[in-house]
Chain A
Amino acid sequence: MKKSNKGLKIFLGIIIGIVLLGGLDYVLAFHTGTRNRHVENSKDHSSSGIIDENGLFADEPEALAKLEERIEECADKTNMNIQVFLPSSDRRYYSDDDVRNFTANQYNDTFGENTDGLLYYIDISGKSPACDDIAKSAAANLIYTEDICQRIYTALDEYLPPSYGPVYTEHIINAVEHFCPMIESYYDPDRASGSYYDATADTPVYVYTKNGETYVTTSKPPFKKLRICIVAELAGGLLTLILYLISKSRYKFKSKTNPSIYLSPDNVRFREKSDVLIRTYVTKHRIQSSSGGGGGGYRGGGGGGHSHGGSIGHSSHHR
């Protein structure tokens, strides 16, 4: 009876401990953190459009205006800031990092930091291989994931010329006319989940959604905090258990005297003490030859960093 009471007490203690820790985790994960830097987009998307730095549409302003209109329409539908940028040949010496740095700053300069939107940089500068880039800001990072961007690139490869070939306005018109519907079709704010961490920003930030609202904060998203809390509690609990068991083992009776001390070699008289060889035999077996080996592997790549403000993520593609 007494033992079962003790067991019940321990069980209740464990349950209460788990409940308390759960409550603490909830408070730490969901009710702590830094201010939300996210800036809601205005309904006016007149800033969205196309920048023809290259002057490709110099002789076709109507076509450019049409594209401008289409992009604005897309921006209205998605409530995203959208800009398509056609770089001049001055940018052909840009490295990939330079491109990403430029697109991030261009977006922030045009629409402001931590707004929802994206900038599509179609590399017609003459750089080979051409480096297209989609710079995504705030919620766009969660909606237009790397996978979606790569799908967009693959689809647009059909319309864009190779980097070594001449570029005509038709290429860009086709590309933009297919780009906008794809942006619209992939737009699904409800699908925005998980989080995005922009480590290259001037102040590294996390982008995530909570209760349908977009957050851009310097503190971690709630589920990451929750995971850290649980890991911390498991590590603390494990350390507690190990220390408890080690300390408890020091409180056990260990000492025992070896009875060998009561037998002196002087008190041993051998009648027979022998080690007689009775037989010798040899066995042999064939050594199995084994072949194999592994190839080495190498990891290559790497990349430089760049610096910008806001919460810009990139998806790049080479043509």
Chain B
Amino acid sequence: MESVEYKCPNCNADLKFSPSTQKLDCEFCLSSFTVDEIKKLCSKTENSIPPEAVQLQEDFANHTHLYRCKSCGAEIMADDQQTATFCYYCHNPVILAGKMGGEFKPDKVIGFKLTRDNAIACFKKWVGRRWFVPKDFKSQQQIEKLTGLYVPFWIADCHIEADYRAIGKKLRHWVSGNYSYTETKEYRVIRDASMLTRGVPADGETKIDDLLMEAIEPFDYREMKDFSMSYLSGFYADKYDVDKSQVFPRIRERSKQACLTFIRSTISGYSSLMPSSDQYKVTNTDWNYTMLPVWFMSYKYKDKIYEFAINGQTGKLAGTPPLSKGRLAAVCGCIGGALAAAIIVLGGVLF
């Protein structure tokens, strides 16, 4: 097998030439390209980093401190004007671990629009409707743990080639005399398109649940700015520990789902569809490493960590509320008991 040093345009992993398919395959994201395709794509990329970008990376490295939580291993960034004292995730003390490397400098950032007071109001409204959360969860001490956090996101624009082919059937029924008739019309349905999903995000760290971050989407990318250290002031930032090759399968799946939904929305009026081809191939991906604003809180209850997040830009919130099963069972038991007592009394057992 011959090995050729090209990077995958989707996830930046090394591509390997496969003699059997005569294509360059990516082992990480399973993309596949012809040599001509990859040459064409690589010709567009810059081979050198501009001096301004190098300067920005150096500034980032000099003015950012990295703190590490000895308890859960979380790594938090803060600017050199601020000292991080506790871990946003497990609330244990953190220690200064050194400077950040320039390669961790984000490309873009969306600043916080939701103030701490707004976030607390959102949380109180959300938790107020839930009667059976543990009392601690609503306490002021817990609310104090709500942390303004820039979460590292990989944001991808995916170029997708969609090829959908199916046989669609339209049926018409009528009755004449003693016979029932069915007219079947068969159509060849073809949807062959180039599609571009823009700004599909995936968080680049393992601590926070992926579904929680998906739940507080979308972010308004029109307010996205080039990264500057000034955005970090007063907030913490998480360091990514998942690179783009690892998040690409998630992004590809969501992009495919978006394309599939769109394609299906263009097909209507059929009684049934029998697809013969339903392919969505990601041909190229443009990446941005971006910090997105999130108000985050975690709560440990009975050896399980419950996470709660608010979109720091739009105020959309999501999370799993902890449930005090004992209190819930007691209340439900009282209601059930009252019903039983009512039946016993009305049924004339006592008199």
Show the binding face of A for B, using Cβ within 8 Å.
Answer: 28-29, 32, 34, 218-220, 225, 228-229, 231-233, 235-241, 243-244, 247-248, 250-253, 255-265, 267-287, 289
Count: A-B pairs, CB below 8 Å: 203
B197 x A262 contact (CB < 8 A): yes
B224: Cβ under 8 A from any A Cβ: no
Min CB distance B148 to A, Å, is 21
A248 x B328 contact (CB < 8 A): yes
In the complex the two chains form, what is the Cα distance from A255 to B213 in whole Å? 10
Q: Select one of A235, A244, A259, A268 contacting B193, CB under 8 A.
A: A268
Closest residue on chain A to residue B270 by CB atoms: A275
B190 x A252 contact (CB < 8 A): no
B196: Cβ under 8 A from any A Cβ: yes
Other than A247-B332, A253-B212, A287-B178, give 20 A-B pairs with Cβ distance below 8 A.
A232-B347, A241-B332, A247-B132, A247-B328, A251-B320, A253-B215, A256-B215, A259-B255, A262-B258, A263-B195, A263-B255, A263-B258, A267-B195, A268-B195, A268-B262, A275-B187, A275-B267, A276-B187, A284-B180, A284-B182
Interface size counted on chain B using CB atoms at 8 A: 72
Min CB distance A277 to B, Å, is 6
B211: Cβ under 8 A from any A Cβ: yes
Q: Could you list 26 examples of A-B contacts with CB < 8 Å?
A: A32-B350, A34-B351, A231-B343, A236-B339, A236-B341, A240-B329, A240-B336, A241-B332, A241-B336, A251-B321, A251-B323, A253-B215, A253-B320, A262-B218, A263-B258, A264-B198, A268-B194, A274-B189, A275-B168, A276-B188, A278-B167, A278-B186, A280-B186, A282-B181, A283-B184, A284-B181
A273 x B188 contact (CB < 8 A): no
B257: Cβ under 8 A from any A Cβ: yes
Min CB distance A86 to B, Å, is 41
Q: Chain A contacts of B340 at CB under 8 A?
A: 232-233, 235-237
Q: Chain A contacts of B336 at CB under 8 A?
A: 236-241, 243
B278: Cβ under 8 A from any A Cβ: no
A29 x B212 contact (CB < 8 A): no
**Given A271-B193, A273-B191: A253 and B339 within 8 A (CB)?**
no
Min CB distance B305 to A, Å, is 13
**Given A259-B254, A261-B218: A243 and B335 within 8 A (CB)?**
yes
Q: Chain A contacts of B133 at CB under 8 A?
A: 251
Closest residue on chain A to residue B338 by CB atoms: A236
A273 x B266 contact (CB < 8 A): yes
**Given A239-B339, A262-B197, A262-B258: A270 and B344 within 8 A (CB)?**
no
Closest residue on chain A to residue B132 by CB atoms: A247
In the complex the two chains form, what is the Cα distance from A255 to B182 in whole Å? 43
Q: Select one of B132, B261, B338 contacting A251, CB under 8 A.
A: B132
Min CB distance A147 to B, Å, is 28
B343 x A228 contact (CB < 8 A): yes
Q: Chain A contacts of B197 at CB under 8 A?
A: 259, 262-263, 267
In the complex, chain B residues 128-143 whose Cβ is within 8 Å of any chain A Cβ: 130, 132-133
Q: Chain A contacts of B192 at CB under 8 A?
A: 270-273
Min CB distance B191 to A, Å, is 6
A228 x B190 contact (CB < 8 A): no
In the complex the two chains form, what is the Cα distance from A239 to B339 in whole Å? 8
Min CB distance A221 to B, Å, is 11
In the complex the two chains form, what is the Cα distance from A79 to B218 in whole Å? 90
Q: Select one of B187, B254, B339, B349 contacting A235, CB under 8 A.
A: B339
B186 x A29 contact (CB < 8 A): no
B319: Cβ under 8 A from any A Cβ: yes
Most chain B beta carbons < 10 A, residue from A232, A250, A261, A271: A232
B132 x A219 contact (CB < 8 A): no
**Given A239-B335, A272-B191: A255 and B215 within 8 A (CB)?**
yes
A273 x B190 contact (CB < 8 A): yes
In the complex the two chains form, what is the Cα distance from A228 to B211 in whole Å? 49
In the complex the two chains form, what is the Cα distance from A28 to B190 in whole Å? 74
A240 x B332 contact (CB < 8 A): yes
